[in-house]
Amino acid sequence: MAVSSVKGLKGLGIAGAIVGTGLDVYGVSTAKILPGKAMENGVFTAIGLKGGWPGALISVAYFGLEAYYTGGANQATADYSSAWSQHAQSWKQIKMESGGL
């Protein structure tokens, strides 16, 4: 059962890679997607296909953010960085106000 499930997931990943790459090629040829973005997608597709389970998880996270986070993975990264910076500033302010904890 477990082996057939893994093979099924691998087959689903390969099918998704083929469809996604085809859509990127079409998008570039019709100027609906920039070539750089298509290459970025290709890199994460390759990571997913060749990186074993860790690569598959990274690829799923990337394409999940692309699909469901406004602005995609790049915006999610920028938002995370901004939130972390604000968090660090807040702690620095608390530390200064409390005399150094």
Element housing 97 (H / E) = helix 72-97
Strand, coil or helix: what is 71?
coil
Tell me the whole-structure pTM to 2 decimals.
0.74
Q: Where are the domains of the chain?
A: 2-68, 74-101
Kindly report the backbone phi and psi dihedral angles of residue 57, in degrees, each rounded to the nearest multiple of 5, phi listed first. Answer: -65, -40
Kindly tell me if the per-residue pLDDT of 90 is higher than 70. Answer: yes
Question: Are the beta carbons of 58 and 44 closer than 8 angstroms?
Answer: yes
Question: Are the beta carbons of 44 and 51 closer than 8 angstroms?
Answer: no
Reported as a single tens digit per residue, the pLDDT across 20-60 is 999 999 999 999 999 999 999 999 999 999 998 899 999 99
